[in-house]
Amino acid sequence: MYKGDDHIVDTMDGLKFRIGPKSFYQTNTKQSLVLYRTAKEFAGLTGREIVYDLYTGAGTIANFVADSATKVIGIEYIEEAVKDAVINSRINNIKNTSFFTGDIKSVLNNQFISSNGRPDVIITDPPRAGMEKDVVDSIIEAGPEKVVYVSCNPSTQARDIALMSEQYRVTKIQPIDMFPHTHHVENVILLEKNVG
């Protein structure tokens, strides 16, 4: 027989996050705050933007940036994580987020964008394997002014950015040491739409 809660709760910048066993959450919580603040700073939100948060997990980044956006749309393929994301918005009294479950390459299409609004900013934080080419193509098709790419694997991040290089240029890079005493880093890159 098991006893205890079926989740943990962490607090970051005054926000509470409920994390279930199938939801992704950064293991180094002190550096997570640095990571999320960096992603938010790179997004440069003014309060008027529609933000898409791809691979949203338990909605940590989506909820973290929601106070600076008109609307935040989170997409995640793990249903239990999306349930946590919805709960996290509710317990933090955040009302401008919406979360969707499904494979991002299938969900992020023209019909989805016309229903939810064209993103001004996309924040993406994929798993180590990076984004599938179909997802990269969907981001390019959506045409946000900025893409904030958070990655725990700079090599797949570089591969994906190369696929976007005709439409987007890298304007900021900030590695964050999430795993001290190892060679692993979390890397945040800001891509901005090429002009002309």
Helix (H) or strand (E) segment spanning residue 10: strand 8-12
All residues at 6 or more sequence positions from 93 whose CB lies less than 8 Å from its CB, including other chains: none
**CA distance linking residue 119 with residue 72, whole number of Å:** 9
* 152 given a catalytic annotation: yes
Query: Active site residue: 69, 104, 152, 161, which one?
Result: 152
* Whole-Å CA distances, 74 to 3, 30, 133, 174, 196: 32, 23, 19, 23, 30
Residues 118-155 have pLDDT tens digits of 999 999 999 999 999 999 999 999 999 999 999 999 99
Instruction: Give the Cα-Cα-Cα angle 10, 148, 69 (nearest 5 degrees).
Output: 70
CB atoms within 10 A of CB 157: 22
State the pLDDT confidence band at 15, using cuts at 50, 70 and 90: confident
For the domain bounded by 8-193, which CATH number is listed? 3.40.50.150
Residue 43 clears pLDDT 60, i.e. is over it:
yes
Residues 23-42 have pLDDT tens digits of 565 665 667 889 999 999 99
DSSP state of 51: E
